Protein backbone atom coordinates (compact mmCIF):
# COMPACT_ATOMS: atom_id res chain seq x y z
CA UNK A 1 0.00 0.00 0.00
CA UNK A 2 1.48 3.37 -0.92
CA UNK A 3 1.61 6.31 1.49
CA UNK A 4 -1.25 8.17 -0.16
CA UNK A 5 -3.57 5.20 0.20
CA UNK A 6 -2.41 4.62 3.77
CA UNK A 7 -3.17 8.24 4.74
CA UNK A 8 -6.52 8.07 2.97
CA UNK A 9 -7.42 4.93 4.93
CA UNK A 10 -6.45 6.62 8.22
CA UNK A 11 -8.23 9.91 7.49
CA UNK A 12 -11.44 9.05 9.39
CA UNK A 13 -9.45 8.21 12.51
CA UNK A 14 -7.31 11.33 12.25
CA UNK A 15 -10.48 13.48 12.10
CA UNK A 16 -11.58 12.42 15.61
CA UNK A 17 -11.05 15.01 18.35
CA UNK A 18 -8.18 14.08 20.64
CA UNK A 19 -9.23 11.88 23.53
CA UNK A 20 -12.43 10.66 21.89
CA UNK A 21 -12.61 6.96 21.01
CA UNK A 22 -13.69 5.76 17.59
CA UNK A 23 -17.48 5.65 17.04
CA UNK A 24 -17.44 1.86 16.65
CA UNK A 25 -16.18 1.55 20.23
CA UNK A 26 -19.40 3.05 21.62
CA UNK A 27 -22.09 0.92 23.27
CA UNK A 28 -25.56 2.07 22.16
CA UNK A 29 -27.26 0.45 25.20
CA UNK A 30 -25.00 2.37 27.58
CA UNK A 31 -25.61 5.50 25.49
CA UNK A 32 -29.37 5.06 25.82
CA UNK A 33 -29.04 5.00 29.60
CA UNK A 34 -26.83 8.12 29.56
CA UNK A 35 -29.29 9.95 27.31
CA UNK A 36 -32.12 8.95 29.65
CA UNK A 37 -30.32 9.93 32.86
CA UNK A 38 -29.26 13.30 31.45
CA UNK A 39 -32.78 14.19 30.25
CA UNK A 40 -31.86 14.77 26.60
CA UNK A 41 -35.45 14.33 25.38
CA UNK A 42 -36.41 17.36 27.48
CA UNK A 43 -34.82 19.59 24.84
CA UNK A 44 -34.55 17.31 21.81
CA UNK A 45 -38.12 16.00 22.04
CA UNK A 46 -39.73 12.61 22.32
CA UNK A 47 -38.08 10.15 19.94
CA UNK A 48 -35.50 12.89 19.32
CA UNK A 49 -37.64 14.54 16.63
CA UNK A 50 -36.67 18.03 17.82
CA UNK A 51 -38.19 20.56 20.20
CA UNK A 52 -36.21 23.34 21.91
CA UNK A 53 -33.07 21.52 20.74
CA UNK A 54 -32.52 20.23 17.21
CA UNK A 55 -33.78 16.93 15.81
CA UNK A 56 -31.27 14.14 16.50
CA UNK A 57 -33.15 11.30 14.80
CA UNK A 58 -31.08 10.50 11.70
CA UNK A 59 -28.20 12.74 12.80
CA UNK A 60 -25.62 10.22 11.54
CA UNK A 61 -26.76 11.00 7.97
CA UNK A 62 -25.93 14.70 8.44
CA UNK A 63 -22.83 14.63 10.64
CA UNK A 64 -19.91 12.26 11.06
CA UNK A 65 -19.43 10.42 14.34
CA UNK A 66 -16.54 12.76 15.13
CA UNK A 67 -18.76 15.82 14.55
CA UNK A 68 -21.51 14.41 16.79
CA UNK A 69 -18.94 13.64 19.49
CA UNK A 70 -17.50 17.15 19.21
CA UNK A 71 -20.97 18.71 19.56
CA UNK A 72 -21.47 16.74 22.80
CA UNK A 73 -17.96 17.40 24.16
CA UNK A 74 -17.98 21.10 23.20
CA UNK A 75 -21.65 22.14 23.13
CA UNK A 76 -22.90 25.47 21.84
CA UNK A 77 -25.39 27.44 23.97
CA UNK A 78 -28.08 26.76 25.00
CA UNK A 79 -26.95 23.11 25.27
CA UNK A 80 -25.30 22.50 28.64
CA UNK A 81 -21.94 20.76 28.97
CA UNK A 82 -22.49 17.34 30.51
CA UNK A 83 -19.80 15.70 32.66
CA UNK A 84 -19.21 12.83 30.23
CA UNK A 85 -15.87 11.17 29.63
CA UNK A 86 -14.66 10.14 26.17
CA UNK A 87 -16.03 6.59 26.43
CA UNK A 88 -19.45 7.88 27.53
CA UNK A 89 -19.50 10.33 24.62
CA UNK A 90 -18.76 7.42 22.26
CA UNK A 91 -21.68 5.53 23.84
CA UNK A 92 -24.05 8.47 23.29
CA UNK A 93 -22.83 8.85 19.68
CA UNK A 94 -23.44 5.12 19.09
CA UNK A 95 -26.95 5.40 20.55
CA UNK A 96 -27.94 8.55 18.65
CA UNK A 97 -26.57 7.08 15.44
CA UNK A 98 -28.72 3.97 15.88
CA UNK A 99 -32.10 5.68 16.35
CA UNK A 100 -33.15 5.21 12.73
CA UNK A 101 -31.20 2.01 12.13
CA UNK A 102 -27.86 3.75 11.60
CA UNK A 103 -25.94 4.27 8.39
CA UNK A 104 -27.33 1.91 5.80
CA UNK A 105 -30.38 1.14 7.96
CA UNK A 106 -28.75 -2.03 9.29
CA UNK A 107 -30.24 -1.90 12.80
CA UNK A 108 -33.75 -2.20 14.22
CA UNK A 109 -35.82 0.94 14.78
CA UNK A 110 -38.19 1.24 17.76
CA UNK A 111 -41.01 3.77 18.12
CA UNK A 112 -43.66 4.37 20.79
CA UNK A 113 -47.20 5.61 20.30
CA UNK A 114 -47.87 7.88 22.02
CA UNK A 115 -44.30 9.17 22.06
CA UNK A 116 -44.83 10.54 25.60
CA UNK A 117 -46.98 7.91 27.32
CA UNK A 118 -48.66 8.32 30.69
CA UNK A 119 -49.35 4.65 31.48
CA UNK A 120 -49.36 2.52 28.29
CA UNK A 121 -47.80 2.72 24.84
CA UNK A 122 -47.70 0.61 21.71
CA UNK A 123 -44.11 -0.36 20.98
CA UNK A 124 -43.34 -0.97 17.30
CA UNK A 125 -39.98 -2.39 16.24
CA UNK A 126 -38.94 -2.59 12.58
CA UNK A 127 -36.19 -5.07 11.71
CA UNK A 128 -34.18 -4.87 8.46
CA UNK A 129 -32.90 -8.03 6.83
CA UNK A 130 -33.95 -11.37 8.28
CA UNK A 131 -37.06 -11.18 10.43
CA UNK A 132 -36.52 -12.24 14.07
CA UNK A 133 -37.99 -15.45 15.49
CA UNK A 134 -39.14 -13.86 18.75
CA UNK A 135 -39.22 -10.41 20.34
CA UNK A 136 -39.83 -9.43 23.97
CA UNK A 137 -39.86 -6.06 25.71
CA UNK A 138 -39.05 -5.49 29.40
CA UNK A 139 -39.76 -1.98 30.77
CA UNK A 140 -37.61 -1.01 33.78
CA UNK A 141 -36.96 2.08 35.89
CA UNK A 142 -33.82 2.83 37.90
CA UNK A 143 -34.49 4.43 41.28
CA UNK A 144 -31.33 5.20 43.17
CA UNK A 145 -29.47 1.93 43.68
CA UNK A 146 -32.46 -0.27 42.88
CA UNK A 147 -34.63 -0.94 39.86
CA UNK A 148 -38.28 -1.66 39.24
CA UNK A 149 -39.67 -3.62 36.30
CA UNK A 150 -43.08 -3.68 34.68
CA UNK A 151 -44.56 -6.75 33.02
CA UNK A 152 -42.49 -8.33 30.27
CA UNK A 153 -44.34 -8.25 26.95
CA UNK A 154 -44.05 -10.61 23.99
CA UNK A 155 -44.29 -8.61 20.79
CA UNK A 156 -46.16 -10.11 17.85
CA UNK A 157 -45.39 -9.75 14.16
CA UNK A 158 -47.77 -7.59 12.15
CA UNK A 159 -48.79 -8.49 8.59
CA UNK A 160 -45.18 -7.54 7.76
CA UNK A 161 -42.88 -10.10 9.47
CA UNK A 162 -40.22 -7.38 9.85
CA UNK A 163 -42.54 -5.22 12.00
CA UNK A 164 -43.38 -6.38 15.54
CA UNK A 165 -45.75 -4.71 18.03
CA UNK A 166 -46.89 -4.98 21.61
CA UNK A 167 -48.46 -2.88 24.34
CA UNK A 168 -46.14 -1.97 27.21
CA UNK A 169 -47.32 -0.64 30.58
CA UNK A 170 -45.67 1.66 33.10
CA UNK A 171 -46.64 1.71 36.78
CA UNK A 172 -45.54 5.31 37.42
CA UNK A 173 -44.21 8.42 35.77
CA UNK A 174 -40.51 9.09 35.30
CA UNK A 175 -37.55 7.88 33.23
CA UNK A 176 -37.90 4.29 32.00
CA UNK A 177 -35.98 2.11 29.58
CA UNK A 178 -37.39 -0.75 27.55
CA UNK A 179 -35.03 -3.66 26.91
CA UNK A 180 -36.08 -5.20 23.59
CA UNK A 181 -34.66 -8.71 23.18
CA UNK A 182 -34.71 -10.43 19.79
CA UNK A 183 -32.85 -13.58 18.80
CA UNK A 184 -30.29 -13.11 21.60
CA UNK A 185 -29.64 -9.42 20.81
CA UNK A 186 -30.72 -6.31 22.72
CA UNK A 187 -32.00 -2.85 21.88
CA UNK A 188 -32.47 -0.30 24.67
CA UNK A 189 -35.28 2.23 24.24
CA UNK A 190 -35.43 5.16 26.70
CA UNK A 191 -38.83 6.71 27.42
CA UNK A 192 -40.07 9.46 29.72
CA UNK A 193 -43.41 8.48 31.20
CA UNK A 194 -45.64 11.45 32.02
CA UNK A 195 -47.90 10.01 34.72
CA UNK A 196 -49.11 6.90 36.48
CA UNK A 197 -51.86 4.38 35.88
Q: What is the pLDDT of residues 22-35, one digit of tens each?
A: 455 799 889 988 99
Contact assessment for residue 176 and residue 139, using Cβ atoms and an 8 Å cutoff: yes
List residues bridging with 182 in a β-sheet. 135, 185
The answer for residues whose C-beta is within 8 angstroms of residue 133's C-beta and 6 or more apart is 183
Distance CA 69, CA 129 (A): 29
Using N-to-C axis directions, what is the helix angle for 86-96 and 65-73, rounded to 10°? 130
**CATH 1.10.760.10 domain span(s) along the chain:** 26-104
Q: Residue 183: which pLDDT band, with cuts at 50, 70 and 90? A: very high
CA 81 to chain centre: 20
pLDDT-wise least confident of 17-26, 44-53, 147-156 = 17-26
Superfamily per CATH, domain 108-193 = Immunoglobulins (2.60.40.10)
Give the residue from 61, 37, 31, 35 showing the smallest Cα distance to 48.
Answer: 35
The pTM of the full predicted model, rounded to 2 decimals, is 0.69
CATH fold of 26-104 reads Cytochrome Bc1 Complex; Chain D, domain 2 (1.10.760)
Could you report the per-residue pLDDT of 98-136, keeping only the tens digit for each? Answer: 888 877 778 899 989 998 899 999 999 999 889 999 999
Give the residue from 161, 171, 89, 87 showing the smallest Cα distance to 125.
Answer: 161
**CATH 2.60.40.10 domain span(s) along the chain:** 108-193
pLDDT reported for residue 179 = 93
Amino acid sequence: MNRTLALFALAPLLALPLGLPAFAAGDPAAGALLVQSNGCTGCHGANFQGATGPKLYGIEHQLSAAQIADAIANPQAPMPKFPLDAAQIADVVAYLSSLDGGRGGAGPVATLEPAKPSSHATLTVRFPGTAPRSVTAQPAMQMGGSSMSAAKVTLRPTSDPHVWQGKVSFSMGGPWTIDVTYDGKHLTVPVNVAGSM
